[in-house]
Amino acid sequence: MVSSSSSQSMQDFSQNLRLLCGYYKSVAKVCRSLDINRQQFNKYLGAQATPSSFTLRKICTFFGVDEEEIFSEHESFRALLNRQRTAREPDSAVPADFFPSSAQDVVEVPGLLLCLFDVACRAGGGDQVDYPLDPLRRKDLE
């Protein structure tokens, strides 16, 4: 028989995991990154199964949370994530004048245009995006 506190802990884990996945483009992408079967991961999301110790460590490492935290009460976990994100923002925030405001402010390198891409990061982890450096000229942006 499953105790009510164990059942609540599983519900909290499930909600916390769904919250963490919400910072990513898709659950499928999270599953691929973690190398976890999507059907099994859906059982975690639906509070139908508990991950093994190995898988739990892998999930926690990926999301940057402790094993105890991910099983904590959902509202406490949400508040914890908000505090962590707020604490990180001043260090990771890009100054307002970092990106050029117009094509005239972009530096032209002989034959190439140096372009800066603003890629939004999720949950502190971010996505790695590779952009080929195409031979663009200032006139291409105007």
Partners of residue 47 on adjacent β-strands: none
- Closest by alpha carbon to 65, among 36, 32, 23? 23
Is the Cβ–Cβ distance between 13 and 50 less than 8 Å?
yes
Separation CA 72–CA 139 (nearest Å): 55
> 101-110, pLDDT tens digit by residue?
554 555 555 5
> 71-107, pLDDT tens digit by residue?
999 999 999 888 877 765 554 455 555 555 554 555 5
CATH no. for 4-91: 1.10.260.40
All CATH 1.10.260.40 domain ranges of the chain, comma separated, are 4-91
Partners of residue 112 on adjacent β-strands: 109
Partners of residue 108 on adjacent β-strands: 113
For residue 43, pLDDT over 70 is answered with yes
pTM for this predicted structure? 0.59
